[in-house]
Chains A and B, each alone.
Chain A
Amino acid sequence: MFLRNYSTSGSSQRHKIMNPKPALAVKNLSVVFDENDNKIHALENISFNIHQREFICFLGPSGSGKTTLLRLIANLIKPTSGEVNFMFGHPPKIGMVFQQPNLMPWRSVLDNIKLPLELENDIHAHEKALDMIRLVGLTGFEDSYPRDLSGGMAQRVGLARGLIHEPDLLLLDEPFASLDALTRERMWTELSNLWQAKQKTVIMVTHSINESLFLADRVLVLTQRPGKIKLDMPVDLPRPRKDDVRYTSQFGKLAKKLREAIE
């Protein structure tokens, strides 16, 4: 049985002042793929909650079903059992950033970023996209085509497109995995600043310990297939985080804990 529940939960009203509002509750989620008569258990009994404006990170080795989990939340696939309940009071708007920039090659930078607003028939799409281009530092590249962009620039366009329609939930699927190390670290800072400015609810998957600690409020470690949650660890590093947070002893301690949790 799969229920996609969009109603506000009753308990949220009571805790409103004390606690942040819940955004999403995932309950007993399991996914089994049928591939050539072989049953592949991708995810097993996943349960977690996430608050609004929280940034959580799923950390796990490849094959732990991280991407499958994101695709479930984005409603791109259905679970074999379990529920994904949204608590925004309306069907959630989703912004998604992919491993590859996944831009439309026939659209300019501006038109790629505009796409989510076009689908909503937003008449202010153009101005909003120009603002967003400024925010992600792509001024001057409005009319460039994706083939003329470097990997980092293309992924910035992907990020801008994921945020342009003010989504309730931003899903990041290893967005920096294909970038070189230096660009990747620069993108962490930029994403961190963007998140600070936009205060979105974010679910990111990654296999980088540093990335998850630098960005997230909470890191959840997934096991090898079938993916189960092995550790749910808050990251109590002060915000806004700067580059040098990575060289603090607290960061090192948390990194060690995560490393030990990953098989």
Chain B
Amino acid sequence: MFTSPQPSPILGEGVQKIMKTSLSRLLGLLSILLFIPIWELIVRASNLPKFILPSPIDVWTRFLKSLNDGSLLYHTSITFFEVLLGLLAGTLFATIIGYMLAKSKTLEKILSPYLVASQAIPIVAIAPLLVIWLGDGILSKVVICALIVFFPVLINTIVGVRAVSSPLYDLMNSLRANRLQILLKLEIPASLPVLLGGLRIGATLSVIGAIVGELVSADRGLGFLLQLGDFQYDTSMVFVAVFMLIALALLLYGIVTLLERRFLKWQK
């Protein structure tokens, strides 16, 4: 706990608060704005060829070009679709199985060796297998995304459900609540903070999953664009693809943050 500073007699506490938050936001923006000229400076000073390190202007021009011919939006939407589908499928399975594991110690003992093993194998190692089995279309990427999302969401579901306070179970039972009521009115809302924490990790991981899948074999998506740029010495294109991936991850992260604000407003 920290003691709040005395409100200034001239500026109200509210005004001070707004100034503080806008200042901290400004700092983030400022660091990005500083990053670009530094990058430009490095390019000029090092005199590196464009296919090794393109300048911000080269990347910007490439970005506009691929935006105009529609290719960027096409590939981005493919990857976004894979990521979203994989995230949803992974989260769905992870919460259902996680709930069952949280409720049954026996089931947890039976399944835990497999779960731990599945985490010990890096996704990069099984991605080629999944592409062989499921083809190089969208399905294999969705499955890779789902797999990579599965574990953190599963663990958080187990932790969240196990942490539901037992006096609240007593309350629900004394009111003769049925299983469904206990699930909907106690277990889900009580474990939601931990669950959303898992989703936050899963959201960024699922972008990695899609790219890993696309790098193994694909004819579309940002991973494909990345590889294409690499093969053609179109390094500016690689940069554009990387920035789009960052944007995608930020977007998903933002969605989870919005969900947290909407459902966890009681926590602040």
Question: Is the pair A116, B175 in contact by a Cβ cutoff of 8 Å?
Answer: yes
Q: Determine the residue in chain A with the shortest Cβ distance to B169.
A: A76
Q: Does B174 contact A (CB under 8 A)?
A: yes
Question: Is the pair A115, B175 in contact by a Cβ cutoff of 8 Å?
Answer: yes
Interface of B is mostly: helix
Question: Is the pair A119, B185 in contact by a Cβ cutoff of 8 Å?
Answer: yes
Q: Does A96 contact B (CB under 8 A)?
A: yes
Collect the chain B residues with CB atoms within 8 Å of residue A104's CB.
168, 186, 189-190
Collect the chain B residues with CB atoms within 8 Å of residue A108's CB.
266
Q: Does B173 contact A (CB under 8 A)?
A: yes
Question: Is the pair A145, B175 in contact by a Cβ cutoff of 8 Å?
Answer: no
Question: Is the pair B171, A145 in contact by a Cβ cutoff of 8 Å?
Answer: no
> In the complex, what's the smallest C-beta–C-beta distance from A100 to chain B, in angstroms?
7
Question: Is the pair B174, A74 in contact by a Cβ cutoff of 8 Å?
Answer: yes
Binary contact track A57-86/B, C-beta < 8 Å → 1, others 0: 000000000000001001110000000000
Q: Does B170 contact A (CB under 8 A)?
A: yes
Q: Does A247 contact B (CB under 8 A)?
A: no
- A145-B170 CB under 8 A given contacts A106-B189, A115-B175, A116-B175: no
Collect the chain B residues with CB atoms within 8 Å of residue A74's CB.
170, 173-174
* Size class of the B contact interface (CB-based, 8 Å): 20 to 34
* Size class of the A contact interface (CB-based, 8 Å): 20 to 34
Q: How far is the CA of A75 from the CA of B172 in the complex (A)?
A: 12
Q: Does B167 contact A (CB under 8 A)?
A: yes
Q: Does A94 contact B (CB under 8 A)?
A: yes
Collect the chain B residues with CB atoms within 8 Å of residue A147's CB.
266
Contact for A98 among B171, B172, B267, CB less than 8 A: B171
Q: How far is the CA of A76 from the CA of B172 in the complex (A)?
A: 10
Q: Does B16 contact A (CB under 8 A)?
A: no
Question: Is the pair A96, B177 in contact by a Cβ cutoff of 8 Å?
Answer: no
Question: Is the pair A94, B175 in contact by a Cβ cutoff of 8 Å?
Answer: yes
- A119-B190 CB under 8 A given contacts A96-B170, A102-B168: no
Q: Does B66 contact A (CB under 8 A)?
A: no
Q: Does A232 contact B (CB under 8 A)?
A: no
Collect the chain A residues with CB atoms within 8 Å of residue B190's CB.
104, 106
Q: Does B71 contact A (CB under 8 A)?
A: no
Question: Is the pair A119, B177 in contact by a Cβ cutoff of 8 Å?
Answer: yes
Q: Determine the residue in chain B with the shortest Cβ distance to A98.
A: B167
Collect the chain A residues with CB atoms within 8 Å of residue B165's CB.
102
Shortest 8 CB-CB contacts between residues of A and residues of B: A96-B174, A74-B174, A145-B266, A102-B167, A106-B266, A106-B189, A119-B177, A116-B175
Q: What are 11 A-B contacts with C-beta separation under 8 Å?
A: A74-B174, A75-B173, A95-B174, A98-B171, A100-B167, A105-B266, A106-B189, A106-B192, A108-B266, A116-B175, A147-B266
**B contact set with A: CB distance below 8 Å:** 165, 167-168, 170-177, 181, 185-186, 189-190, 192, 264, 266-267
